[in-house]
Amino acid sequence: MARPAPGADRSVAVLELLADNPDERFTLSEVARRCGLNKATAHALLSALTTHGILLRHPDEKRYSLGPRLVAIGDAALRGYTAVDFAPSVLGRLAADTGLAATAMRLEDDVISVIARAGGGSGVGGGPVAVDVAPNLPHIPPLGALFMAWTDDPSIEAWLARAPASEVVGKVLEALPAVRRHGFVTTLASPEWVRLMAAMNDGLPHDRMRVLLADLGRRGALATDIDERRRYQVAGVSAPVFRGDGHVELSVSAAAPVDRPDGLELSGAQLLDLGARVVVAAEELTLAVHGHGPESNHADPH
């Protein structure tokens, strides 16, 4: 077992205090009180951090803020491990646990792309494989609801503005609170979903997918309330992986294998159990990169 390092813990406490309150500046007494330190310990710690440029001390106000050295440290951190690096092993366990195809997806430049997958015929023995070239989906409602459920209102508004039909907007807005409540999103299988997936695999351009997306959105692609006594035709279940800033970095999904394009018939109880398993896998990735979900509740637009 690693030996405790009180000095490191105290340094982290100070940095977290300042990072959690970026618009405030703190005196020595305030730092000591907020971090549970005596003034002598706090003074020595703040002096050392200031000497190395980790903190700045205003010469007149005698207050401390985060320093410029952290900019370079933050830039270096962005080049380190991300959830993508840990995804293959987690997906392998999820695929083995559920017997389904496990996938990790990322949203970038308004395109949802597969970055890793396991099971469901994705590789030899169902093992995890990285995906260099894979069909992509446009970030057009109802697609990408998981990436939007925990974001800010302007981002949701911009996403909804790309909806292929006005009827889609209402159904998506109805689904977003359920996604946050359950912690995962359920995509329902339907003839419209099958046609969309076939078009995606055939490489249909995103602008020509809008008709298919409108048909899917009008039908209602996402489950809202889940009743344990009902039965659902499920295409897949996805849960969010959060970054350190509370934004969704990846989507982790368990979906019907490729030979089941019509989806899986599950009871509500089975669906909730599957959702819980996917959430556990997503939380494992979130913890691996020390991420966290947004701390405040999100208010729906409209």
pLDDT digits (tens, 9 = 90+) for 170-216: 999 999 999 999 999 999 999 999 888 888 778 778 777 889 999 99
pLDDT for 250:
94
Report the C-alpha gap between 179 and 144 in whole angstroms.
12
pLDDT for 86:
84
CATH of domain 81-288: 3.30.450.40
pLDDT for 81:
65
Tell me which residue has tokens 């003839």: 191
pLDDT for 257:
80
Residue 17 has pLDDT above 70, yes or no: yes
First to last CA, the chain: 53
Average pLDDT value for residue range 144-159: 95
Residue 40 gets which letter from DSSP? H
In terms of residues, how long is the chain? 302
Domains 6-77 and 81-288 share a fold: no
pLDDT digits (tens, 9 = 90+) for 89-148: 999 999 999 999 999 999 999 999 999 989 864 433 333 333 333 468 899 999 999 999
Q: What is the mean pLDDT of the chain?
A: 86
On the CB side of 39, CA atoms within 13 Å amount to 4
pLDDT for 296:
41
What's CA 162's distance to the chain center, in Å?
A: 21
How does residue 166 score in pLDDT terms, banded at 50, 70 and 90?
very high
CATH of domain 6-77: 1.10.10.10
pLDDT for 79:
64
pLDDT for 185:
96
Cross-strand bridge partners of residue 271? none
pLDDT for 295:
65
pLDDT for 298:
41
pLDDT digits (tens, 9 = 90+) for 225-256: 899 999 999 999 999 999 888 899 999 999 98
Q: What is the identity of the amino acid at 214?
A: A
pLDDT for 4:
54
pLDDT for 301:
38
Residue 167 has pLDDT above 50, yes or no: yes
How does residue 258 score in pLDDT terms, banded at 50, 70 and 90?
confident
The least confident of 77-91, 138-152, 174-188, 264-278 is: 77-91
What residue ranges do the domains of the chain occupy? Answer: 6-77, 81-288
Report the C-alpha gap between 149 and 239 in whole angstroms.
11
What is the share, in percent, of the chain residues with pLDDT greater than 70? 88
Tell me which residue has tokens 């503005």: 161
Give 218: exposed, middle or buried? Use CB within 10 Å, 0-12, 13-18, 19+.
middle
pLDDT for 206:
74
Give 302: exposed, middle or buried? Use CB within 10 Å, 0-12, 13-18, 19+.
exposed
The more confident residue out of 75 and 166 is: 166
Residue 45 has pLDDT above 70, yes or no: yes
188 backbone dihedrals φ, ψ, rounded to 5°:
-85, 140
Residue 218 has pLDDT above 50, yes or no: yes
How does residue 9 score in pLDDT terms, banded at 50, 70 and 90?
confident
Residue 149 gets which letter from DSSP? T
Using omega within 30 degrees of 0 as the cis cutoff, is the peptide bond preceding 142 cis?
yes
